[in-house]
Structure 1
């Protein structure tokens, strides 16, 4: 599925955040591409930007939604379950 012509970068970034769930807070770029309908090159470029700004982190080839990014994403809707799940996941990643 190709993105709509004229879709904003922000709309595409929101679609990336929406790809994550409490059960799946770590996704590959290919998984993000599939879930969002973004071309893999577009998803890869946007994910790299989100990583550079600290909204995602990359561990073992998977992108992880960070609590900071999750809190910013919460402005788009109630997803408090993601904040708790991601805070736990980041603690696990930090431990080892």
Structure 2
């Protein structure tokens, strides 16, 4: 079964959007975990949160919480994208 040109274009748009969401999520995760937790930790040392400095908090808790938030965001956004392109689960 050959795909029509419209179906091919929809598939391209779907995967382009999917890859963009993944890349944005990975950049956010890398920035929070590696950037804030390691590279920018000395700059964040003066800011206190929960009895410790912000850089330490990002290294120990913040990156995990952001990762969990990104998982839920990705699932929500992909369900929406699936519905837009007619490939959602039934």
Shorter-chain TM-score bucket reads under 0.3
Give the TM-score, by structure 1 length: 0.25
Q: Which has the larger radius of gyration?
A: 2
More strand by share: 1
